[in-house]
Amino acid sequence: MIKVGQPAPDFTLPAHDGTSLSLASLRGAKVLLWFFVEANTPGCTLEGRGFRDHQSYFDESNIRVVGLSFDSPEDSAAFARRHEFGFPLLSDANHAVALAYGACSGPDARYPDRVSFLIDENGAIERVYDQVDPRDHPARVLADILGV
C-alpha cells in the first residue's frame, strides 16, 4: 500500500456523470480518495451518505471527495442518483488505480479494499485510512482534518 509522504499515483478515469476525471485536475485542493467495495451495498451506502451529509464541511475545508470502485459508470451513476451524492464516483474497471495505490489484493480482485487516502494540495499522500468502519469513516476524517 502506498505510504504517507509518497506521491499519489495520477489517474484519469470515467466518472458517473459521463465525464472523465484526473487527479492532476484537482491540484490545489486536498482530495479524499475513497475506495468503496460496491454500489448499493449496505456499508458503502452508509459510508457514501456520511460523505454526502458532511459535504459542506469538506467543501469549507477545500477537500474534494472522490469515490472509486470497480463498478461500471452506469452502476455508479445509479448509486449517485439514488443517494444524491454531490461528488464524483469513478470506475476503475481494470483495477489499475486500485493496484497503484495498493487498494486491492491483486489484478483479479473482485472488489477494492475499504480504504481512503487523503491527498494534499500538491499531490502527496497526507494520510491513509486503512482501518475503515463505514459507520463513522466520514466523521473520523473530518475530526482529523478539523483537529477535534
Q: What is the pLDDT of residues 98-148, one digit of tens each?
A: 999 999 999 999 999 999 999 999 999 999 999 899 999 999 999 988 876
Active site residues: 44
Please report the domains of the chain, with CATH numbers, ordered by start residue: 12-146 (3.40.30.10)
DSSP lists the bridge partners of residue 139 as: none
Quote the cell numbers at residue 101: 495505490
Provide the whole-model pTM: 0.95
Percent of the chain at pLDDT above 70? 99
